[in-house]
């Protein structure tokens, strides 16, 4: 490829803009590349900010991936920090820029323009929210302000508003600093991208670790004295004493420039781009949190404010603006979070996503160990697959656990990208040694279980569906096939105990014409029981997917009650 002179202007740094600048230079050595960044830092690891607040990352400079000087030395990109782009003139192909330090206004021409404005933290207009001890965690200065306040005031009680990824990471950071922490989430669950039964695993773990979780309640107001908030009032009327609050409500895409320039904004609330990252103006590209992304499962436009897609979009935008020809096909929304020792990961569609998009689907829940049980240190994983009913195609996956979550979600994200079915998962040839995996590892086992359902070897029922049946079908035959000791510890109220090893001898005590639901602890013994019953003339038999280990985790239940 022959380089040719071009003036490329990039608005915004961090993931999308910085990636675009570096790739544009690699494609075109002759281009004049200028990046304008409103803030004081051009490229920083914003995903690392909670860990900097909590001193897991002690050196602030570790967060600064590039500086204006390093960008110039390596890429010959002119980076102008503290410069705010005020407007885009598409007809004259220039931008109006304000130097925030001097106030000077200038006009910069461009041949190609790349928008990477990102998204800003949502700060709702609540009474008292401008108090000096209420912060967001979106930028390096945000984190600096939190650390400075904590050093000067030594807070003891903190409220984290929002139970999303950043909120939970920040809660852990504050717990590590010995604060008493309450997370307030307006929705009925934390971690909204997850299904409620999976998110409840996380909230239960956090409560055990000492974080107070309030769900289904929002902030009404903050009460302050002399500009320092001392109390958060919730919509329910509950009042929480506090010395510090962190807002982690979400982010809103920065669309002002794009809107005023007349660029197409889509129904999902982001800048519309094609697979070249071109906007409705072919000379303007866009990348990062402000753009809409094609979901690789649904094919529909959505927004994914995630670092992975932003970096890839920036790379494509930079290459194409400089004369290249790269494509960004879309993303799955694969994400992972760790807090207080528990890890939650998701890729593709959750069950509630599948319902929203009107898929004919089923779910399959398994609870395998992260490596061979006979090797020390094995921990349980909780895995939920969403599967297309007719084809068996994988639609999405969620995993909760303490070890091995990351590599399993990445395998499943790869399977989703390749369009694999659950029967394909059965045949995956994955590495096995007892300290790393089982011979029938968690992903393969999840494939086995889901494929059994797909092939009709077993009909499954979810915890939610079972609750409905228990309420509406008084004649339901409910069979517990666990051991007597497990039954004594906890069981469903109208269940009959027949341990799996004794089932064949007691078949005559059951009615083969009555609808029957079988359950065990995790689903395996229930599956074996269903296979026995079906081959002895029982017609309407279901296995509780995930077993009792999933059933009590619904929000309205607890682990200890006999139901």
Helix (H) or strand (E) holding 527: helix 524-534
Distance CA 312, CA 297 (A): 18
Note the pLDDT of residue 560.
34
Angstrom distances, CA of residue 8 to CA of 34, 170, 263, 349, 385: 6, 37, 18, 37, 44
Eight-state DSSP code of residue 520: -
Long-range contacts of 57-61 (CB under 8 A, 24+ apart): 60/140, 60/144
For residue 228, give the nearest of 240, 239, 242, 248 by alpha carbon. 242
Three-state SS for 191-257 is CCCCCHHHHHHHHHHHHHCCCEEEECCCEEEEEEECCEEEEEEECCCCEEECCEEEECCCEEECCHH
**CATH assignment of 459-553, among 3.40.50.620, 3.90.226.10, 3.40.250.10, 3.40.50.300:** 3.40.250.10
Give 283-321 as a DSSP string: TEEE-STTB-EEBTTT--EE----HHHHHHHHHHHHHHH
Distance CA 182, CA 231 (A): 12
Note the pLDDT of residue 558.
35
Listed in order, the ranges of the chain carrying CATH 3.50.50.60 are: 7-119+253-321, 134-249, 341-454
Distance CA 413, CA 484 (A): 40
Note the pLDDT of residue 275.
97
Give 311-357 as a DSSP string: HHHHHHHHHHHTT-------B---EEEEETTEEEEEEE--HHHHHHT
**CATH assignment of 134-249, among 1.20.1290.10, 3.50.50.60, 3.30.70.1560, 3.40.640.10:** 3.50.50.60
Q: Which fold has domain 7-119+253-321?
A: FAD/NAD(P)-binding domain (3.50.50)
The superfamily CATH assigns to domain 341-454 is: FAD/NAD(P)-binding domain (3.50.50.60)
Note the pLDDT of residue 353.
98
Name the β-bridge partners of 64. Answer: 44
Burial (CB count <10 Å: 0-12, 13-18, 19+), residue 25? buried
First to last CA, the chain: 69
Q: How many CB atoms lie within 10 A of CB 389?
A: 14
pLDDT (tens, 9 = 90+) of the chain, 563 residues, equals 557 789 999 999 888 899 999 999 999 999 999 999 998 888 777 788 888 888 888 888 787 778 889 889 999 999 999 999 999 999 999 999 999 999 999 999 999 999 999 998 999 999 999 999 999 998 888 999 999 999 999 999 999 999 999 999 999 999 999 999 999 999 999 999 999 999 999 999 999 999 999 999 999 999 999 999 999 999 999 999 999 999 999 999 999 999 999 999 999 999 999 999 999 999 999 999 999 999 999 999 999 999 999 999 999 999 999 999 999 999 999 999 999 999 999 999 999 999 999 999 999 999 999 999 999 999 999 999 999 999 999 999 999 999 999 999 999 999 999 999 999 999 999 999 999 999 999 999 999 999 999 999 999 999 999 999 999 988 999 999 999 999 999 999 889 999 999 999 999 999 999 999 999 999 999 999 999 999 999 999 999 999 999 886 544 443 333 33
- CA-angle at 316, arms to 255 and 296, nearest 5°: 80
Q: Look-up: residue for tokens 């979070």?
A: 337
Which phi and psi angles does 44 have, rounded to 5°? -140, 160
Note the pLDDT of residue 145.
93
Helix (H/G/I), strand (E/B), else coil: 459: strand
Distance CA 110, CA 88 (A): 10
Helix (H/G/I), strand (E/B), else coil: 53: helix
Eight-state DSSP code of residue 421: B
How many helices (DSSP H) and strands (DSSP E) are in the chain? 15, 32
Listed in order, the ranges of the chain carrying CATH 3.40.250.10 are: 459-553
Contacts of 52 (CB under 8 A, 6+ apart): 60, 63, 143, 147
Counted residue by residue, the chain has a size of 563
Check if the beta carbon of residue 234 is closer than 8 Å to that of residue 269.
Answer: no
Supply the residues annotated as catalytic: 47
Note the pLDDT of residue 552.
62
Check if the beta carbon of residue 291 is closer than 8 Å to that of residue 268.
Answer: no
């Amino acid at each position: 490829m022959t380089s040719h002179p071009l003036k490329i202007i990039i608005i915004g740094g961090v993931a999308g803009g910085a990636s675009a600048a570096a790739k544009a230079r690699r494609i075109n050595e002759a281009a004049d590349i200028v990046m304008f960044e409103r803030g004081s830092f051009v490229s920083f690891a914003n995903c690392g900010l909670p860990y900097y607040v909590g001193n897991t990352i002690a050196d602030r400079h570790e967060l600064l991936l590039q500086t204006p000087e390093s960008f110039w030395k390596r890429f010959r990109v002119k980076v102008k920090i503290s410069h705010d782009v005020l407007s885009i003139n598409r007809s004259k192909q220039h931008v109006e820029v304000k130097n925030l330090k001097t106030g000077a206004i200038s006009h910069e021409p461009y041949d190609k323009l790349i928008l990477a404005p990102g998204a800003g933290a949502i700060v709702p207009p609540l009474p008292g929210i401008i108090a000096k001890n209420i912060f967001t965690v979106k930028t390096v200065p945000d984190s600096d302000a939190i650390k400075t306040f904590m050093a000067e005031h030594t807070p003891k009680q903190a409220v984290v508003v929002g139970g999303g990824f950043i909120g939970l990471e920040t809660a852990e950071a504050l717990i590590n600093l010995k604060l008493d922490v309450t997370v307030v989430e307006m929705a009925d669950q934390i971690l909204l991208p997850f299904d409620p039964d999976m998110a409840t695993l996380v909230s239960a773990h956090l409560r055990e670790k000492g974080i107070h979780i309030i769900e289904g309640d929002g902030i009404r107001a903050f009460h302050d004295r002399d500009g320092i908030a001392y109390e958060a009032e919730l919509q329910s009327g509950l009042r929480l004493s506090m010395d510090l609050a962190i807002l982690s409500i979400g982010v809103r895409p920065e669309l002002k420039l794009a809107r005023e320039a007349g660029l197409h904004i889509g129904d999902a609330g982001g800048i519309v781009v094609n697979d070249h990252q071109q906007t409705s103006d072919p000379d303007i590209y866009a990348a990062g949190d402000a753009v809409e992304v094609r979901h690789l499962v649904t094919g529909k436009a959505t927004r994914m404010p995630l670092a992975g897609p932003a970096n890839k979009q920036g790379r494509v935008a930079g290459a194409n603006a400089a004369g290249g020809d790269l494509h960004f096909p879309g993303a799955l929304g694969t994400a992972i979070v760790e807090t207080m020792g528990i890890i939650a990961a998701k890729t593709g569609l959750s069950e509630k996503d599948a319902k929203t998009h009107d898929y004919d689907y089923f779910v399959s829940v398994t609870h395998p160990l992260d490596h061979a049980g006979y090797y020390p240190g094995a921990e349980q994983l909780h895995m939920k697959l969403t599967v297309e009913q007719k084809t068996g195609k994988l639609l999405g996956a969620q995993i909760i656990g303490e070890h091995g979550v990351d590599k399993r979600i990445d395998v499943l994200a790869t399977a989703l990208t390749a369009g694999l079915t659950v029967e394909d998962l059965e045949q995956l040839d994955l590495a096995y040694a007892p300290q790393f995996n089982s011979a029938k590892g968690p992903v393969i086992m999840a494939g086995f279980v889901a494929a059994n359902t797909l092939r009709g070897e077993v009909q499954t029922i979810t915890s939610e569906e079972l609750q409905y049946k228990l309420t509406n079908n008084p004649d339901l035959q409910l069979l517990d096939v666990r051991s007597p000791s497990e039954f004594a510890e906890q069981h469903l109220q109208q269940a009959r105990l027949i341990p799996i090893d004794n089932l064949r001898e007691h078949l005559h005590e059951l009615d083969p014409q009555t609808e029957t639901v079988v359950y065990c602890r995790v689903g395996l013994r229930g599956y074996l029981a269903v296979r026995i019953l079906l081959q002895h003339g029982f017609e309407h038999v279901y296995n509780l997917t995930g077993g009792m280990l999933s059933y009590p985790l619904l929000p309205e239940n607890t682990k200890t009650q006999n139901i």
